[in-house]
Amino acid sequence: MVQLVGIAGSLRKQSYNRALLNAAAAQLPAAHRISIADITDFPLYSEDIENETGIPASVAAVKAAISAADGILIATPEYNHSIPGVLKNALDWISRPPQDQARVLHGKPVALIGATIGNFGTAFAQDAWLPIFRALKMQLWGDGGPFYLMRAGEAFGPDGQLRDADAVKRLAAYITGFATACEHMQAGEK
């Protein structure tokens, strides 16, 4: 069994990326599990906070979940052709202190998905994540190619459910492929 952690890079309750992450969780094969991490209580990163009070409890909980997981699925919005600040802030906290990075992030498989109301998906944001993942020594899974959901306003119903049949099929293949890759890594296969 593979255990994944999912992170939505938007704090908006009706976020398309949060809905996409939930849709991915629903398509995960039954033998695997995903827990959705909550980053809504992460403060803005400040070394003063870290030095004075340590790692906040909300951050510590997500770090523990990631450390125990076999992979991370990130649903990234795209703001101004780049990454969302709230998600970058979360990774900044998760990577602290530096001596803890190896335990939590180094070698951790990560997959990116993203939804946007526009016509280009989250291509710019997904590309902008690459140097960050390299710096944190995470393993970007790309065998399934990128997963972008364009025109998200049309793909989701008013109930937040992904109703675009083609998108559901592509998402199921993507999350199954990522879980399978994590399972092989877990077993020590290449």
Round the average pLDDT of the chain to a whole number and report it: 95
For residue 110, give the CATH number of its domain: 3.40.50.360
Report pLDDT for 37. 97
Mean pLDDT of 101-122: 94
- Count of structural domains within the chain: 1
Share of the chain above pLDDT 90, in %: 91
- Predicted confidence band of residue 119 (pLDDT cuts 50, 70, 90): confident
- pLDDT greater than 90 at residue 59: yes
Cα separation, 116 vs 121, whole angstroms: 5
Q: What is the DSSP track for the chain?
A: --EEEEEES---TT-HHHHHHHHHHHHS-TT-EEEEE--TTPPPP-HHHHHHH-S-HHHHHHHHHHHHSSEEEEE---BTTB--HHHHHHHHHHT-SGGGHHHHTTT-EEEEEEE-SSSSTTHHHHHHHHHHHHHTT-EE--TT--EEE-SHHHHB-TTS-B--HHHHHHHHHHHHHHHHHHHHHHTT--
pTM for this predicted structure: 0.95
Report pLDDT for 79. 94
What is the helix (H) or strand (E) element at residue 120, kind and residue range?
none
Mean pLDDT of 145-149: 91
Q: Which domain holds residue 82?
A: 3-186
CA nearest 75: which of 130, 23, 139, 132? 23
Share of the chain above pLDDT 70, in %: 99
Report pLDDT for 189. 59
Give me the helix-helix angle, 165-186 and 16-27, nearest 10°. Answer: 60
- pLDDT greater than 70 at residue 105: yes
